[in-house]
Structure 1
């Protein structure tokens, strides 16, 4: 009698990976179910995706980065059963089109949450204690010990826009640092009162927070949410942190708020267009800390994300129960019944 592994290998699954690299244990997990992997390198455009789909007809896409998996791309993948994100953000996928086609779109659980939360806290500490400015001044030959007066992180109010897997970890660490935390969430009952108290609107959160950190997915509702008006509602001298999606923020308005001094600083790990153009207004703004979309890129998180994405694919292709908490378009389950 064949083992489950031998039975799985009888099926020639094809998995398209939108990157040139994937952790070896994740590759092994997919090969164990008989999957053949096609890796893509370089910039992943719609045209390249269409060509790859025509060549391989995959049952699964393991999505690294944010390739444009739109309705056109999906229409050329009739055998596709699952798109598994190597991480959490699926804003580059047309979820409505995927749902109509019966394709599950899945995320890798909380695989990247510890890394992104750590990066967020690092940005808060760096900006909150003026480390970038002090470092720059010292390298320029200044020694500001007698004139510099900073502020401690303890006692400041952190406003979290979103309170999911990452936001909760940020809140827990912030509380350990002596900060108070307010959170804007869809369902107030999901917030542990020992971690944060909830507010009823973004305006309310902005008016109460010394530091605002964004932890919401990009959608039609959240795109550009931190526009000129919202930034003006932030406290004079406050800080903005964004480790979520660049398009949540009006970058020209943020640059203006930094130049005017209304905001004391900002730290961003993501931009609306990556990498930025040399003439990006943000790159010219003062008191800006910017990192190249690497908050989740730790060795441990990359392994967890790869294994999580591979496990989601293996579950769907072999008929194993997929974790409903990882499904980004749960409405598809009704279509698959």
Structure 2
């Protein structure tokens, strides 16, 4: 039986779909040394942790690295392609889940949930209630969405149709915008939006995209929501803006360093919601992502190419390694 190596446990329904196709092995730890060592005999790797490039040099039988989700930054694409390994992902499986997180954290920041909850528990009813008068409605505001893939489209749909928000979009390919939404440059978007949402992929172009200058363009009291990747934001610039009270708050699910250090300045702000890279994780989304990764695994083991192949230039090399 082929060996299917997963960096993390899979949803039971996903594991069940793989039962007759291979032996599922879960990593004992997710550090680079352990992953490279334990994946040596793998035919497939299902990815929820950063893979070291050396893994692809050592795993002689490896056919595919399949991302349990959408973002490909955990897979060293060049190393995989050089080794003749297919790379696939499961785009869109958790997009609605991430979009719900964006709107949830936006509401929590506007209604000062952290302050209300803290003072209600520690001081009392009236102390918690006191924050309500300085809270704000979500409806009627402008939301700016940087990155208009599956997540961005879901954010726009919920924001526009569910809460009556005006929608501004920035995307590498400004096409098929929903009715009522408009395209803007990043500078225009951050200066005009009450809520700036980052849901773009991490690329050389988006690294440091929201730095000191663009944070300075944001409206006083505006919110920044990052469900993209940590390096899209300049941490020092954001911390300075929060300390100065220039913006109203932030909701951060991703960070340049993960896990976030226990003494990180972000943890000291009442108007910052910090979550442990979980915007796309729920029972339902884990099932969808797991099943999607399992289905791609079965295709590859059956001699087919993945539906969501992300390095098509590897096909000739792959076919030489595994003649059909």
Match of 1:148 among 124, 129, 133: 133
Shift of 1:122: 0.3
Question: Which whole-Å CA distance do the structure 1 matches of 2:169 and 2:217 have between them?
Answer: 16
Q: Which of these residues, 109, 114, 123, is aligned with residue 91 of structure 2? A: 109
Q: How many correspondences in the alignment?
A: 315
In structure 1, the residue matched to 2:50 is: 67
SS in 1 for 2:175: helix
Distance 1:190 1:76, change over 3 A: farther
d(CA) in 2 for partners of 1:114, 1:146? 30
Matching residue of 2:145: 160
Q: Give me the TM-score of the superposition, normalised by structure 2.
A: 0.90
Q: Could you say if the C-alpha distance between residues 157 and 146 of structure 1 is closer, same or farther in structure 2, counting changes exceeding 3 Å?
A: closer
Query: Are 1:29 and 1:307, in contact at CA under 8 Å, matched by a contact in 2?
Result: yes
Alpha-carbon distance in 2 for matches of 1:241, 1:147: 22
Shift of residue 69, structure 1, vs aligned partner: 3.2
Q: Secondary structure at the match of 2:3?
A: strand
Q: CA offset at residue 22 of structure 1?
A: 1.3
CA apart distance, 1:119: 0.9
The answer as to 2:36 corresponding to 1:47 is no
Q: Distance in 2 between matches of 1:273 and 1:149?
A: 33
What is the CA–CA distance in structure 2 between the aligned matches of 1:229 and 1:329, rounded to whole Å? 35
Instruction: Give per-residue Cα distances to partners, 1:42-69, cap 9 Å, x unaligned.
Output: 3x12211221133xx21110112x2233
Contact conserved, 1:247 with 1:272, CA < 8 A, in 2? yes
User: Is 1:234–2:222 an aligned residue pair?
Assistant: no
Corresponding residue of 1:123: 105
Gaps of 5+ in 1: 1-11
CA distance in 2 between partners of 1:101 and 1:191 (Å): 39
* Structure 1 equivalent of residue 2 of structure 2: 13
CA distance change for structure 1 residues 69 and 134 in 2, over 3 Å: closer, same or farther? same
Q: Which of 93, 108, 118 is the aligned partner of 1:136?
A: 118
Q: What is the match of residue 189 of structure 1?
A: 175
> Aligned-pair distance for 1:284?
2.1
The one of 203, 215, 222 equivalent to 2:187 is 203
1:31 and 2:19 equivalent? Answer: yes
Q: Deviations over 1:293-316 (max 9, x none)?
A: 222221111111111111111111
Query: Aligned with 1:278: secondary structure?
Result: coil
Verify: 1:179 aligned to 2:165, yes or no.
yes
1:193-223 Cα offsets, whole Å, 9 max, x none, are 34x2111x21121111110011112222222
Give the gaps of 5 or more residues in structure 2.
320-324
Q: Whole-Å Cα distance in 2 between the matches of residues 136 and 17 of structure 1?
A: 39
Residue 97 of structure 1 corresponds to which residue in structure 2?
A: 79
Calculate the TM-score normalised by the size of structure 1.
Answer: 0.87
CA distance in 2, matches of 1:301, 1:217: 19
Deviations 1:255-305 (A, max 9, x none): 111110111100111222222212212112341111122222211111111
What's the secondary structure of 1:187's corresponding residue? coil
Q: Secondary structure at the match of 2:90?
A: coil
Counterpart-to-counterpart distance in 2, 1:186 and 1:315:
31
Cross-structure match for 2:278: 294
Q: Does 1:222 align with 2:209?
A: no
